[in-house]
């Protein structure tokens, strides 16, 4: 049966090329091995405190000096710099997005916890004021407003 939806399913094999992960593959493929050397130098430079632009520039220059991807890097240095800077900045951006997501998850968890706490306290305490005072004495919810408690009461 023919499918004209335009949707495709792809399968890809992904290899971890970090040191010690697929060294046999890197030994068989010099361009890939040299590319990973460039990436490792950029990472080392960043770990030593260099900003992304300086880390990439220094790594590219050192690879050229050591004959690693020399011909390619000399001809395409500006493009390589641009791609590497974008790639490493994307990693920082992606991590910041993940952290924002984690924070949103924590906030949702606190919200759900507050709902559950108020629901439980309603069954044991005589009135709203008692529930409110108990909630705000809880270190996790000390900044909760009266309106927040009322919303779930």
Separation between Cα atoms, residue 140 and residue 28, nearest integer Å: 56
Query: Looking at the predicted structure, is the pLDDT value of residue 103 above 90?
Result: no
Closest to 138 measured CA to CA, from 122, 106, 114:
114
CB atoms closer than 10 angstroms to residue 135: 21
Predicted structure pTM score: 0.52
Q: What is the pLDDT of residues 21-78, one digit of tens each?
A: 888 888 898 988 998 899 899 988 988 888 888 888 999 999 999 999 999 999 999 8
Confidence of residue 89 (pLDDT cuts 50, 70, 90): low
Contacts (Cβ under 8 Å, ≥6 apart) of 54: 45
Take residue 126 and report the two structure tokens written for it. 């005589």
Find out whether 19 and 40 touch, Cβ atoms under 8 Å: yes
Separation between Cα atoms, residue 18 and residue 87, nearest integer Å: 16
């Amino acid at each position: 049966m023919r499918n004209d939806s335009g949707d495709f399913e792809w399968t890809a094999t992904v290899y971890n090329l970090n040191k010690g992960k697929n060294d046999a593959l890197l030994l068989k493929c010099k361009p890939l091995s040299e590319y990973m050397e460039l990436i490792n130098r950029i990472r080392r430079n960043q770990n030593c405190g260099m900003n992304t632009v300086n880390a990439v520039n220094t790594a590219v220059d050192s690879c050229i000096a050591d004959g690693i991807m020399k011909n390619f890097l000399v001809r395409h240095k500006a493009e390589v710099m641009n791609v590497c800077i974008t790639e490493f900045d994307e990693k920082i951006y992606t991590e910041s997005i993940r952290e924002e997501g984690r924070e949103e998850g924590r906030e949702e968890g606190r919200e759900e916890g507050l709902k559950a706490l108020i629901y439980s306290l309603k069954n044991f305490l005589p009135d709203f004021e008692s529930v409110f005072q108990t909630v705000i004495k809880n270190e996790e919810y000390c900044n909760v407003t009266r309106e927040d408690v009322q919303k779930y009461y």
